Every structure is written in C-alpha cells, then in structure tokens.
Chain A
Amino acid sequence: MTNPVLDVIGAIKLKILVFGPQVHTPSLVEREAKFQNKRMEIRAKLEALGHTVKYAEDLVDATIGGPEGNAVFQEIVIMLEYDLIVTLVESPGSIVEATVIATNPKLAAKSVLFQDQAYSGGLVRQCCDNAVDLGAHFDTISYPDDLDQCHLYGKVLKRVSQIQKVKFLL
C-alpha cells in the first residue's frame, strides 16, 4: 500500500551541511578514512535524492580578507542558511563546529550531532550535551559497525524525512 502524502513530502528538498573530517586528501589512517568515506557517502546519497548538500569547506571563501574572512565567522553565517546541519564530531575541525553549535540556539535547533559512543565521558561529549540543551539532536555511533554498515546514513536519512514532514505538516 502506498502513501501519496509521502510523495508530496518527499518533493520538499532541503539544504544540508555535512561537517566532518576533510575529504580532499584521503587519509592513510583507517579510522579517519572511514569517517571521510562516510561523509562523502552521506553527501552523495542525499544529493541523489535531490537535496542540496554541501561541505562547509566548499563554501568558505578563502579570498575574503580581514576579520570577516575568518573561516569560523563565515561558517556561522553559512550555517544559518541551511535546513539541517549534520556533524560527525570526530576531527578537530568538526569539534570546533560542534562547539559553535553548542553556543548558538539558532544553529543547535537544526543540528544533528553524531559521536563515537566510546567517548561518552569526554569534554567533547559534554560540548555535545550543551548543544542538546540548546535544541540540538544528538546520537552516538558505534565504531566501526555504524560506519561499515549503513546505520549512520540511515539515521541521517530518517532525520531528513522528519524535517520534510515537519515542513509540510506542522
């Protein structure tokens, strides 16, 4: 049995940012490589569904000089424009991004943070908790299973679907 409302909802396209480890140079470290691959996979699969998916590093304009050229400031401005911010809290850069999200309710409210459950007691996790307090959604991942299989992408896709439904129904 098909649900035609889902067709209408599925036609709503989102603007999505995917934060995580850099992907321009493949890492030789297995763990980092897995996160890189997952980040690229998330982008590719969501783009295939018609969504606009970007990496922040593609959007930051390195030619802007002065204080306004600061990459963190630029990312804050860029993040405001997007419907969903997916952050794989793993690399130093993504930790900074998670920290920015954890201090800004407007960003937290549309952010989804994923972190390895092994780091449940650390400072970064507490930063994620702060983000949750401001409205972010947080989920743990089990390394390497969630990366090797499609669990992480499934979680992201579910979130995307929920946002589409909210946009249409609420």
Chain B
Amino acid sequence: MSESYPAFARMNQLIADGSDLLELASRPDLDSVLATLDYDWRVNQANAQSPLVPLFSRHGFVESSGSAVALSREGILFLSRLLVRPRDPHSSRNILGTLDSKYEAKGIISVGKNSIVVEAVHRLLGSRFVLKLVRPGASKDMLGSVGLLSGLPDGTRILKPIDLVATTLTDALGKDVEVQCLVFPFAEGITFREFLSRENRHLNSQVAIAFARQVGSALAALEAVGGYHGDLHEGNIIVDERDARLRFTIIDISFDAMGSASSEICRNNDLSNFKQHVWRLLAAQRAAVPRSSLRKYIGTQNYRRIERILSPETTSFRQICEILEDDRDYEAYLEEKKRFLGERFHDPVSFRLQRYEEMTDPEMAVRLFVPLEQLMDKIQGFANVYVSGNRGSGKSTYLASLGFFPAATSGTVDFREIFGIYFPCRQGEFRPLAKREEWSDETSRAVVTNAMATKIVRRTLEVISAGVASGRLRPAASLDALRAFLDNLVPRPGLVSVDLAVQSELDNLVASMVRVEMDEIAKLERPISITARHDALTLVRFFETVRQTFPDLTRTRFQILFDDAGSPYVPTNVQAVINDLMLSSNPVFCVKLSAEKLTFRFMSSDGKALEEGQDYLERDISQILFIGSGAGGLKREELERYFRRIVQQRLEAFNYAATDIVEYLGDEQISHEKLLQLLSMRTKNAYYAGWTTVWNIADRTPRNLLELVSEIFAVAGIDKDTEPKVVSPRDQDRAIRTISEKRLESLSQIPGAVTILGHEVSLGRRLFITTSAIGSAFGMYLRAERGRKRRRQQLAIERNDLEELQREAETMLEKLITFGILDGNKLQWARDDNVKKPLYVLNRIYCPAFGIGYQRDEHLKLSRGKLEQLLVTPERFIRDGTRLLREAAATHTADLFHYKDQR
C-alpha cells in the first residue's frame, strides 16, 4: 500500500498490525498496567522491567534501552493518548494545568488523538480564546511551525495562533507533564457541519464556489509556505454570516501536530477533505432542489470549475486557485458550443417563425413586431388588461412587447415609463402551484400568494440585474434598501451573500431569491406550514423600493404580464391569486394577461367576480380587427394595410428580394362572386389565390396569414434570393387548401376529454367532427345555390331564440370558441323579432378545406334544439338538421368527410 494513502485507507491493516496495542487500550486495569512503566515525562525515562516494554519495542516506541528506557516520539505520543486526559471528559475542571491562573476553562471542545481543545476566557482581559493543548510527541517543531505560519499573507482565511505557551498538566497517574499550548482567538460563527445540517433555505447558488475560493486560497497560501492543516474536518471550518456576507474561516490548524502521520498524508488529507466539503455543499443544494440539475443551478462555468476541482488530476491547492481564476476552459466550451450550434442549427430565416415563444432572440422579436397603433394604445395603458383574441391573433406578441428584455437594445415601449415583467406561463412555471386535495381554500390562497410574490420579486430582480449587466439600466448607487427589504421578505435567517469576487451584490440578491423560490416550490410537496403572509402590499413596497434604488426606474410603473394565463397553463387557484392582485388597485403596478377565450376565470380567491370595465379591461384583438362600420369596426383598407405591413416587415428582416407581398401573390384574383360560382359548381379552376383572398382567409389572425404565405412560398420554391414573380393561382390554391386542411385535421390532436351523451370522449375528435359538420353544411348550402344568379355564402350560425343550451352542448360551444373555430363575439339584430341574438362565425381559415367562400352573406339560423343537435350529435345534424340538409341526404349520401373530394 502506498504511503501516500491516508492512514485510514489502510484501516483493516492497521487493526491487524496494532491488535495488541488495541487490546492494551481495552484493558479494564489499563492505569495499573501503565503504572508499571513508571514513566517520567520530564526526562523521558521508563522502567525497563515493565511488561509493556517488549510490546512498545515491537511497535518502535522505544528509542534506547538499558536499566531505564527512553521512548521514541511515537511512543511518547501513544502514551500521552492513554494518560493525558481530562479527569472527567464532560468537565473542563483542572484541564489547563498551570495555565489555569491565566485562563478560565469554559468547556472542552474536543479530545483528539493529538490535542485537547478547550474554550477559555482570559481572566484579566475577559476575551474568549481557544486553547489547543498539544499532546507530547505530536509535534516535531512547534515553535518553527508557528513561525512559518506568520509568513501567511494578511487576509488569509486561516485563524492563526496568537501565542504559544507551555503548561504543566497532571497525567492520569498523577505525574507532571509539560504540554505546549497554542492560543487562538475565538472565531464567531457556526461550524461548517452545522451549516450543512441546518435547513439551507437560502443557500445562495454560488456558495460552493465562494467556499472553494475562500478555503481553497487559504490552503493554497498554507501550501505555499510549506504547511498544511492536517485535520480539515467539518468542525474546523467556521461559517460567519454576520454583515450579510458569507465568510469561511479555517480554525484549529494542526500543522506539525499530527503525530505519526507524514506530511504527505496530511496534505492529501487536506485535499481530500476539501473536495469532500465542496461535494457535500453541492449535495446539500441538490437535495434542496431535486428537480433542478446542478449544472443549471450553479451555471455551466462554475459547474465545469467544480468538475475540474474534484477531478483526481487536481493535486494541489495552487491548482485549485488557478482553476477558479482561469476562464480559458469556459471560453473553450463557449467556442465549442457555438461551433456545435452553428453546424447543426441555423438562425430562423423563414416565415415559419410564427409563434412569439419560438423566437429565442428578443431583438428579432422586436424587429418583427408590427403593432396596430389603435390596439397598442389600448393595451399599453396603466390598467389591468385581459388581452384576448383568436388563436394566433398575436396576444402573446402584444403582451410581450410591454416586457423589459435586457437583451433587446430597443423596445416597443420606454421602460422608464412602463416596466413589464413578463411570465410566459405556457412553459409550465405555475403548474406546480395547483391546489392539492389536502389544502383548504385559505391554505391554497396563502401558499400561492407567497409563491407568486416570490416569483414576481425574483423575476423583476433577474431582468433588472441582466439590464444592469447589459448596460441598458444604470446601476444603483446603493442596494442597501433593496437588501433590507429582501432580508425581511425571505424566511429566517435571511439572505446569504457570497463575496463580490464571485458575483455582484445584485446577482447575490438574485441568486438568493432563485433559491428561496425553489424552496417555496419544493416545500409544496410536504405538509404545508405557512410561515409568511405576503400580499399585493408586499409587491407595492417592493416595487417602490426598486424605484428608489435604480435611477432609470424612478418614474416607471410596473406591469406584471402573464402570457397564456388560462387553464391548463395556470391552474384556477393561481388564476384566483392573479385576480387578487388585479383587485388591489394601486398606482405602482398593474396586471395584464392573455388567455384563450373562456380559459381564465375572473374570480378572486374570496369568491368575488371581477367586473369587466371596472376591475379590468378586455382587449379582444380579433374584435378590434373586425371589419365593420362605426366605432367598433376597422376599415377594410386599414386591416389590409396592417396585414401587408406584417408580411413586409418579415420580408425585410429576412432580406427577400421584394418586400411587397403582392409581387409574389398578385392581386388580380377572380372576384369572390366568381369564386362562389365556381365553388358551387365544384369546378377544378375554383382557385383560392391572390393577396386579397389570402388576407381574408387569414381571418384577422397574423399567424394564419404567415402560415399561408410561407406555405405558398414553400410550394412555389420561393426563398430570399428568388427573383420576385407572381406564383401561379394553381400553386397558391394548393398551398392554401393544404394549410386549411391541415388546420382542420389538427383539431383532432387537441388533448382533453369532454362528456357527450354521458360518455367521456376525445375533445379533439369531437371538435373535428363538429367543425366538419358545420363546414360541410355550409358547403351543401353553397352547392344548393348552383344555378342562381347571385349566390350567397352561409358562414355563420345564428341563434333564433335565446333559450339556454343544455350542459353538454354549452360545453362544446365554449370549446369551439376557445379553440378559435367559431368567433362568438358578435350579436346580430334579428329582423323577425328585432332582438339582438348571438352569432357564431366560422373561422375563415377552414373555408378552403370545405370549398366554400370566405365572405359572410348569410347565417344559418338554428333553434336551441337544432343547435344542440349540431353540437352534441353532428353526425345526425348533417343528415336532418335542416330541410335543405334532409333533402341533400335523400339525393346522395351526406357524410362528414365529403369535403375531401368536392371537385
């Protein structure tokens, strides 16, 4: 076995080799046996006739023999381990010997193999000290070693002895023994062992790095003067958290008082202990945040540093310090990452980039965003706003445009006036807050409010910190007020900060809040005990503190933006807490949210229904983009211009040869009347083509528009380098029908279940069948117009009564609206009874799939019973829902899928 192994890595061998010594130590008459040695500590002389002498000789404990024997240093140490001991291990009385006149022993800290450590108070000065009584034989040259320690640089985080004195103790047999005593100042704090074992609520994510830097550099300094600690266990590192900063101090340095262990072994022990401490810190952090990877938690740069520190190739503390300072490894990693991404991924340069969430570059999002002025004005004002609209209408984009994104050099709004804190709820951040069965309503409210407050504070600090780092925000002159606020916000013992060399003060606050939030979420899995009660007032105070702290935000008003806040992304109990925040009218922050229709419940946690117009304003994008006369509608030309600009901005951003979409699509399409005629005849040249057709079929939905254009480009093989030319109507038609059918068929993929006729069935499948029934019915009505001079297109369902629908039908209708199949925003004056009744318009994106026109000329008027039939049993409705459908069914077989082969 190599001598470089720590001693206890040879444990079994040591037991075997030293069994006789171990037996001796176990004897009940130990003191009597030892008395036979009659050992005199002052002159190092033992009785040669003692039966112990042969045993001591066998183990190299005897240096010379004769009538009286002298013991070797190892022998003296062994004997001192047996004979120099407190009379009562639980009492420090008389332990200091002659030093007792100077110091009053307050307690024994440890009784070790090489020393006895005692806490004491100086009798005259009254100050606290730690006295280390070094066993005889444990040190070769204590004075020289202490002198060596004086060479350590100032500021090294090692507690150095301030004095080396001698004291005379009495051994277990009543003989005097002179012992050297190191005097250390008392270190305030808790031990590293205690630090690790307590509930580390606020362990900053960079604690392991701070530990490695502070303790590693101290041991490197020791290494540089030729020393070592020798006993770097968890009790010998003191953690001081005073002054809001985490400091690690090494105490009880055992350099040259390590008895029989060689220097090399002691150094290896230091290194091995150090690595284990780093590992334990990381393990404690990982245990507290089990759902997050360590790499993500501490960051790639520090993760790689830790990996290198823990590797067997790292054999000195000097190397450890170099690793902590060296950025080359991380730079190489970044370079390699860039190369990898560059080889395998390309920046999106196509119209297919349609969802806001798909844009990884906020700068690109800003460039591609085309706000409609009258809509933007309505959304950005300081008020609680619900942004609604059809799927793909741009809800997320409008909401995100209010957010502060540090990486984007410009924004749609001025962050000095509007500071948006954006939460993309679709990513699932709020799902873990869903109410558990065992929670009462009050528990749910308190727990979720606390978690939401923590999330909002954390996210705000994150973006501000990134803003300061990127230079978009000026740094604060002082963070004291913010720190004081956060210190009160988080559970005891408050914030933990690491030294500024590891991360800035602001990043310290962010890292602590990240950790606090993780703890909040993790503790939801356990029985809940509510220890804090935050509310909207907490956030008001927080935002006011932020205003006071950051010079660029003095005047700003905060807008908390929840994108896609409907179910299932945000559970209803979390929605209730968002409503609570909305109800807390205040001049500092407001709430804005987007959600699919009917997926957000405007009900506070104490059951108050929020009133539209009073507690919040609804901004329905699709409604605002509705073409119509009067105050409520948008002029047709305005909408056309807006849509043209959306496409133009992308053509410019992606460097297409032409930026006017008409150069690619043309605008010389056949008239809608002609299209209807051809569609009613089912002729093959009933082409959906041309810009006007495309933006109409997009039905006020930018995502539909972009999808249609990009498909046309794909079919015609147009890319940014293609010379502009009008794509043939046939190709345009093919692309438009493809998208339309794809959208129709994709309805089947919508997850979830719905109860129909008492049976739970697939929601997606029911949506598909019902939509098919509606579209097919409209198609049959158009076909019936064949031969007429002026053909009219049915494109909406009109209620011809106001009776309540049965539950299953109502649910289906809500789902059709939620998923943007029907637009339920319009009311129609009925000419027969002059009553305004609901109107449900089919999304025009489905028109090509059914071979119908995209203009709404007529409404299919249905009674409650017929509408219920359509919604609950669409298969029946298509055969006998109306007189025309019954007649059509009699002449040929009508089925839901006949639209597929209509020409």
Contacts and interface: CB of A to CB of B under 8 A. Distances in A.
Interface in A135-170: 135-137, 159, 161-163, 165-170
B12 A5 contact: no
Contacts of A5: 25, 30, 81-82, 85
A8 interface: yes
Interface stretch (B2-10, B496-504, B660-668, B750-758): B2-10
A82 to B, nearest CB: 11
A133 to B, nearest CB: 12
Contacts of B7: 170
A25 interface: no
Contact of B21 (A2, A106, A170): A170
Interface in B8-41: 8-15, 18-19, 21-22, 25-31
A135 B13 contact: yes
B14 A170 contact: yes
B749 to A, nearest CB: 29
B276 interface: yes
Contact of A4 (B78, B172, B291): B172
B111 interface: yes
A7 interface: yes
B12 A137 contact: yes
A167 B112 CA distance: 9
A1 interface: yes
B742 interface: no
B720 interface: no
A2 B111 contact: no
B25 A7 contact: no
A106 B286 CA distance: 27
B493 interface: no
Contacts of B172: 4
B89 A169 contact: no
B295 to A, nearest CB: 11
B11 A166 contact: yes
A137 B276 CA distance: 26
Contacts of A63: 290-291
Contacts of B260: 170
B21 A8 contact: no
A15 to B, nearest CB: 11
B743 interface: no
Contacts of B29: 1
B899 to A, nearest CB: 47
B12 A110 contact: yes
A83 interface: yes
A64 B81 CA distance: 45
Contacts of A84: 11
Interface string A103-134: 00110111110000000000000000000000
Nearest to A84: B11
A13 to B, nearest CB: 12
A41 interface: no
B477 to A, nearest CB: 43
Contacts of B21: 169-170
A57 interface: no
A71 interface: no
B1 interface: yes
B472 interface: no
Nearest to A165: B22
Contacts of B89: 4, 7-8, 11
A137 B15 contact: yes
B113 interface: yes
A110 B22 contact: no
Contact of A169 (B8, B11, B22): B22
Contact of A165 (B9, B25, B111, B291): B25
B85 A162 contact: no
A169 B15 CA distance: 11
A106 B26 contact: no
Contacts of A83: 8, 11
Contacts of A162: 15, 19, 22
Contacts of B26: 3, 6, 161, 165
Contacts of B111: 8, 11
Contacts of B1: 105, 109, 135
Interface in A1-60: 1-9, 11
Interface string B171-196: 01000000000000000000000000
Given A5-B82, A105-B1, A135 B12 contact: yes
A127 B291 CA distance: 39
Contact of A110 (B8, B78, B81, B286): B8
Contacts of A8: 85, 89, 111
Given A11-B89, A166-B22, A169-B21, A110 B11 contact: yes
A109 B9 contact: yes
Given A109-B11, A135-B1, A169 B113 contact: yes
A167 B8 contact: yes
A106 B30 CA distance: 33
Nearest to A66: B293
Nearest to A163: B11
Contact of B28 (A3, A7, A108, A166): A3
Given A110-B9, A170-B260, A1 B15 contact: no
Given A81-B276, A110-B8, A135-B12, A61 B286 contact: yes
Contacts of A165: 22, 25-26
A75 to B, nearest CB: 14
A136 B28 contact: no
Contacts of A9: 25
Interface string B91-114: 000000000000000000001010
Q: Which 3 A-B pairs have the closest CB atoms?
A: A1-B28, A165-B22, A110-B11
Given A109-B1, A166-B14, A169-B82, 11 more contacts: A1-B29, A3-B30, A4-B89, A110-B11, A110-B12, A135-B10, A135-B12, A166-B15, A167-B8, A169-B78, A170-B21
Interface of B: 1, 5, 7-15, 18-19, 21-22, 25-31, 78, 81-82, 85, 89, 111, 113, 172, 260, 276, 286, 290-291
6 contacts: A3-B28, A81-B276, A109-B9, A110-B8, A169-B113, A170-B18
